[in-house]
Structure 1
Amino acid sequence: MNKYLKSFFIGTMALGTGLLVALALATRSSSNFQEQYSILLALNVGTIIVMLTLLGFLAVWLWRRLRQNVFGTRLLTRFALSFALLGIIPSILLFLISTMFVSRTIDTWFNLKLDTALEAGLNFGREGLSRASEQTRDNLERVSLELQGQNADQASSLHIDSWLKTYRWQAMAAFDKQGKPLWQNSDGSQLDNHVLSGITPEMMAKSQEGWTWVEDESDAQDGENVPLPPVIHAIKEIPKATGQAHYLYAQRVMPINFAKKVLDIQNGLRDYQATESSRTSLRNLYRVTLSVTLLLTMLAALAAAFLIANRMIQPILWLAQATRMVATGHYALVPQRVKGSDELIQLVDSFGDMAQQLNVTQLSLQHNQKELEAAKAYSEAVLDNLSSGVLVFNHDFMLESFNRSANRMFQTDLTPCVGQYMAQIDVLAPLFEPIQEAMRNHANHATDSNNWRIQQNLTFNRAQHTDDLTVSVQGSRFIAEDGEDSIVLVCDDISPIVSAQRTLAWGEVARRLAHEIKNPLTPIQLSAERLNMKLHDKLEEADQYLLERSTRTIVNQVMALQNMADEFRNYARAPEIAFSALDLNELLREILTLYEAGEGVKYRIHADLAESLPLILADAQQLRQVLHNLIKNAIEAHETGVLPVVELSTNKVELQSDSLIHSQAVGFSIRDYGTGFSPKILARMFEPYNTTKSGGTGLGLPVVKKIIDAHHGKITVKNHTKNDGQNEILGAQIDILFLNVLQTDNSNFGVNDTPRLI
């Protein structure tokens, strides 16, 4: 619920409460009732309309939330209606009881016969006034008897004061038949104008018996809001007065309290009579007031119920949301907005503390997991970049995992082989029996070491060529935490080491052969030439021809043996490399100019040289020897009668990013269309005396390999076949990969530039 709507609700309820109090107070004040009650009633009705409008908006808001199935709406509605009923039902009962009580009280008020009592009190006052009037008349008659037979003007002031004091009169006078005053008391100066002038002849005629009248102005008030008391006037003729007829006048003023009490009784009677006439109106008035109070109370109860219910369910809604978040693994909860100290808030706080602790634990676990993943990634990166191939088998020799070096070493993607038995994997099957034997031997010999090692030669038959691989396998068994043991095989390709050892052995043999062969050649040649010189003139012509031919044959063979000895010596001698920045394409163009004379007649050479080829670090003289040798061999590999066709190409090679070698290399490839090589020749291609030529020494490619190895390059020989996969051999192909590549290209490399390896 919006906080502004809450504030508006609370303000409206406070306003309604204040208006109800003012309305109740207005019914108690008769003076301001007429002008205030209607205004307050209109304000209360307006407040009811405002609250009904707000509750209507609230009902629409709840209905929309119920249709949208918003969580907590049903609980909010149930709580609000329950709390509202707790306030509405007692309000209705109180309204009914109050209405009955007010009706009966009003009826009781009007059934008490107050009018009779007030009439009796008023009559009692009238009787008192009448007795005072009769008493005044009788007292005046006594005075007249005292003055009987005398003139009224003979009364002394002493007698007058005595009469005023005795009879409690406020004024006294004597006047003749014409109304002319004869005398009056000292305070009666105003009688002439106000009283005596009002005495008529009829009053004088009745004065023989005594005449009184009462001047009652109790409804009038003086300047101080005090009611005027009744005034009794009395006239009596003096019997047997000498001369003309004389009359006595006496005035008696009733006490102020008497006037006040009489006025109060008159006002009370008047009000009661007015109230009696408005009994039904009064009953309806109180019913309307109670109805307005009931409506405001019910609406305020509804509004307060929704506000209280909304506040009460906030912790429950938060707890439900937090439970769902915890169930999905999100422990970072929104802080509780409802403040308090009751048990429900304590439960919410406890759940929040638990979720916070779980969040801290989860973050710690995630941090540890990241560290483990980083360590695992680091281990995998180390394993992937190892030159050794790593294979992991379970105790049943089922392949579980491997690194990338194993794929490169065994020249096969081992991913489909995961879960297969080792003996059923073609590239690994030759290792199975030696490994089993090594494990049995290790088990039979009690040693502290848990490692064992074997060395095995593997042969990979390809469509183009056959590769020999010498593998050194070191195995180890370890027991995992689940109690099952696993076998780890670390495989190292020692083919280059074996090849280097074989090359060193052949080099030593070649050096000794060159020494042993070359030593007797010179004496043999000199002896043959000496025999020819000594015997030539002593023989016949036919014998001379035979001697010359034999001598020439001996000299030629000696020279051939000397060339062979030189080749042995060159093979045995370690090449001395003078590295410098070299453009391979430029070197090839320079070499190809030497073959332009025979182009199209003796052979055909096609060159496909890549543009923007990086520079390499190499010895130009030795690479010139390598390229001459390869081009010459490619031309000579063709059969007689066929025009030799040789294809040359260079390219830039992007190496695998996870390899420890340089990310770029320069490739060179030469291809012929001759007879190719047999698998036996391919298997020992770089060993001395391995040749397909009848007059060859078999030292050409071994020398080439020694030079390429000295340049830190790689050389491979294979047959290229028809349609890239068929067994029909089209010729031989030699690929060289130069790894020492410079970052500076041909366009901006100068003499003073410092070459840097990629």
Structure 2
Amino acid sequence: MLNAEAEMRSLDEAIVLHKPTNTIIANTTLSFALSFFSIPDYLMQRANTGEIVEIKTDPAKLKMLVKLKDCNDIYLLVGRPIDDKIIDHIAKTNGAAAEYYRLKNHISVLATEKIKAGDLTIQVPESEVNKDEINVLSSAFNRMVKQIERQQRDLMIAQRALAWSDVARKVAHEIKNPLTPIHLASERLLRKFSNQVEDKGEFDKYIQMIIRHTDDIKKIVLEFVNFARLPAPVFANCDLLPIVKNIVDSRKLINEKILYNFATTDEHIDFICDTTQINQIMVNLLKNAEESIKMARAQRGIITTSINLQDDHITITVTDNGVGFPSNLISKATEAYITTRSNGSGLGLAIIKKIVQDHAGTLDLANRIEGGAIVTVTFNLEELKLKSLELTSNKR
């Protein structure tokens, strides 16, 4: 069972241990049991408090230790290799940190360097304190702090995306192969035996059910594959308003029974984005709202999309009068494979969140007091500009 669980999660090491007796209860085939005995006591004590502890013994592998609940002194250690791209990202982050501390130290010795060179007449006029070299260093200092914060956040996102991508590829591979023969066999049964069975109606109904659900599974597999292959954004300058409004207008033509509203006080909003991915965000959000309204069976469905530009932030809000989010799932609705629909893959909001994060944004979900849901996407324009410049620079 441990081998199966580890394979599904792309883990190359998993060990279950009874610490007081140093007894290995279970371990996967490729686990290194001795790694358990080299864990310092202070990390075991942290695990005893319920904390999930990272074991930093190998820069090329991520290892985590946790004490199993409701089990006396039983611990689980898991490990998996870190993707080379993430290791490279860590190296860049460490380089940025080193540059940060270099600048910090340089700020304190800027004037003293000239004094050491023998210029004892050096003075820093108070009126000039925010100009010239101090100003240049201060600007560089602030840029490095933001770069470190952004790279750390991107690293966490990359690690999570890598884990879910591995799962998606495995699921797609295991499910995709038998679908085609099932579909073909069902169609041949329908053609060959439909007129030979006693209850033709029931026979046709069951075969059509198999074909329909096979097609549903194909769609889910396609979403898995798309999630696993979600590319990095290709940034370009654009006007955000017509992009969003065109999507709203197209959904309005498809769903005439729903009242669509589009609201903004701006005539033009300059934006840096991957237009294809922004279209994907809006289509998914509006489709979710439409399905929620259908489930609520409201007499008149209403979906309102609004865009607001304030300072360095752009906010896109989509509200509906559907069933809203289940209270027990709203906190984790953006996690992969979380869904409330019987034929859903649970990847829609996860894909939206990944795209939003790639555009230096945040995704917030909430339920309206009057009923329905409200989804808010907020983009930080300053961070987005820095991120697009950094991505362009890396490509060069």
SS in structure 1 at match of 2:338: coil
Alignment match of 2:302 (pick from 629, 634, 645): 645
Alignment match of 2:376 (pick from 734, 737, 747): 734
Q: Report the counterpart of residue 582 of structure 1 in structure 2.
A: 238
SS in structure 2 at match of 1:637: helix
Q: Report the counterpart of residue 606 of structure 1 in structure 2.
A: 261
Q: Report the counterpart of residue 592 of structure 1 in structure 2.
A: 248
Preserved CA contact (<8 Å) 2:241 2:269: no
**Structure 2: any 5+ residue segments left out of the alignment?**
1-119, 386-396
- Shift of residue 670 of structure 1? 1.8
Preserved CA contact (<8 Å) 2:364 2:377: yes
Preserved CA contact (<8 Å) 1:675 1:730: yes
Preserved CA contact (<8 Å) 1:670 1:734: yes
Q: Deviations over 1:52-84 (max 9, x none)?
A: xxxxxxxxxxxxxxxxxxxxxxxxxxxxxxxxx
Q: Deviations over 1:603-635 (max 9, x none)?
A: 222211333423333343333232111112123
Preserved CA contact (<8 Å) 1:719 1:729: no
- Shift of residue 680 of structure 1? 5.1
In structure 2, the CA distance between the partners of 1:596 and 1:526, relative to structure 1 (3 Å rule), is closer
- Shift of residue 381 of structure 1? 6.8
- Shift of residue 667 of structure 1? 3.5
In structure 2, the CA distance between the partners of 1:491 and 1:512, relative to structure 1 (3 Å rule), is closer
In structure 2, the CA distance between the partners of 1:550 and 1:583, relative to structure 1 (3 Å rule), is same
Q: Report the counterpart of residue 156 of structure 2 in structure 1.
A: 498
Scaled by the length of structure 2, the TM-score of the pair is: 0.54
In structure 2, the CA distance between the partners of 1:533 and 1:646, relative to structure 1 (3 Å rule), is closer
Amino acid at match of 1:549: K
- Shift of residue 676 of structure 1? 3.7
Amino acid at match of 1:717: D
Q: Report the counterpart of residue 340 of structure 2 in structure 1.
A: 692
SS in structure 1 at match of 2:339: coil
Q: Report the counterpart of residue 423 of structure 1 in structure 2.
A: none
Q: Report the counterpart of residue 352 of structure 2 in structure 1.
A: 704
In 2, the alpha carbon distance for the partners of 1:641 and 1:671 equals: 14
Amino acid at match of 1:701: L
Q: Report the counterpart of residue 715 of structure 1 in structure 2.
A: 362
Number of residue pairs the alignment of both structures matches: 260
Amino acid at match of 1:585: L
- Give matches, 1:188-587, under 5 Å: 367=123, 387=145, 494=152, 496-540=154-198, 542=199, 544-575=200-231, 577-587=233-243
SS in structure 2 at match of 1:616: strand
Alignment match of 1:631 (pick from 256, 281, 286): 286
- Give matches, 1:737-756, under 5 Å: 737=379, 739=381
- Shift of residue 520 of structure 1? 0.5
In structure 2, the CA distance between the partners of 1:586 and 1:372, relative to structure 1 (3 Å rule), is closer
Alignment match of 1:671 (pick from 307, 319, 329): 319
In structure 2, the CA distance between the partners of 1:686 and 1:377, relative to structure 1 (3 Å rule), is same
Q: Report the counterpart of residue 4 of structure 2 in structure 1.
A: none
Q: Which has the higher contact order (CA 8 A, sep 6+)?
A: 2
Percentage identity across aligned positions? 27
SS in structure 2 at match of 1:692: coil
In structure 2, the CA distance between the partners of 1:604 and 1:519, relative to structure 1 (3 Å rule), is same
In 2, the alpha carbon distance for the partners of 1:685 and 1:648 equals: 20
In structure 2, the CA distance between the partners of 1:387 and 1:634, relative to structure 1 (3 Å rule), is farther
Does residue 681 (structure 1) correspond to residue 339 (structure 2)? The answer is: no
- Shift of residue 673 of structure 1? 3.6
Q: Deviations over 1:464-497 (max 9, x none)?
A: xxxxxxxxxxxxxxxxxxxxxxxxxx99995553
In 2, the alpha carbon distance for the partners of 1:535 and 1:689 equals: 38
- Shift of residue 699 of structure 1? 0.8
- Shift of residue 561 of structure 1? 1.0
Amino acid at match of 2:207: T
SS in structure 2 at match of 1:693: coil
SS in structure 1 at match of 2:159: helix
Q: Deviations over 1:299-337 (max 9, x none)?
A: xxxxxxxxxxxxxxxxxxxxxxxxxxxxxxxxxxxxxxx
